[in-house]
Amino acid sequence: DEQALSYGIIRDTHISDISFDFGAQYLYNLNQKHRLTFGAVFSPKAALNGDLKELKARGISFDESSGSFNQQYAIDTIYYKNEDFNDNQLQIPLSYGAGVAYQYDNRIMLTADVQLSQWTKVNMPGYALSTDANSRVSLENSSRITFGAEYTPDDRISTNYLSRLKYRLGAYQFRDYISYNGKKTDETAFSVGIGFPMKRDKSSVNLSFVWGKQGS
């Protein structure tokens, strides 16, 4: 029925703030060809400033692509609010991580990293976590574990371009911070890649392929 009323909800959220990440790195030379690199990162918990505009309305025509009612038809506003985020209503979590890399003669590099984020200890606006009576979005602590390997045949042979290519393998597992009705959208992925060095400087063009699975 073209004359039937359509119902819609429009939410516009604007977030603007400054946060800080901290990091440290230490290089330890075992000998002339072997060395280790240790790293650590830290992001403090922080509150963000922003505002939310929410409109619930009905009208004759609702454009799904633009997410708004066609302005040439009458709109009946059912509910409208405009509020600012304050008093720690919207937060980002405390995160910390560490990593280590082993390098042999500028030819072989092995790396491992882990990062944790405390999402269960942050505040979120109520609308962000509630859907309906039968569905619920909740926050879980997240983690990410990453492994990588890189092999360069010999980057000192400038006349043999193939020997200067960087061949890479990687893998990671990410435990997501969002749970929907008790189900999480965790990720597991593997990657392969090649780094193509530029001839006249230390820059390179990097190409990678990633295969993985998210959720169930």
Question: pLDDT averaged over consecutive 10-residue blocks of the chain (216 residues)?
Answer: 71 87 96 95 93 82 65 72 84 96 94 96 79 74 97 80 92 92 89 90 91 90
Question: What pLDDT score was predicted for residue 106?
Answer: 86
- The percent helix, strand, coil of the chain (3-state, each to 5) is 5, 60, 35
| 93 and 48 Cβ atoms separated by less than 8 Å | no
How is residue 61 written in tokens? Answer: 């025509």
| 204 and 166 Cβ atoms separated by less than 8 Å | yes
Question: What pLDDT score was predicted for residue 64?
Answer: 66
| 151 and 125 Cβ atoms separated by less than 8 Å | no
Question: What pLDDT score was predicted for residue 165?
Answer: 92
| 7 and 69 Cβ atoms separated by less than 8 Å | no
Question: What pLDDT score was predicted for residue 58?
Answer: 78
Question: What pLDDT score was predicted for residue 23?
Answer: 98
Question: Is the pTM above the cut of 0.85?
Answer: no
- Rounded to 5°, the CA angle 16-69-52 comes to 20
Question: What pLDDT score was predicted for residue 98?
Answer: 98
| Whole-number Å distance between alpha carbons of 26 and 98 | 12
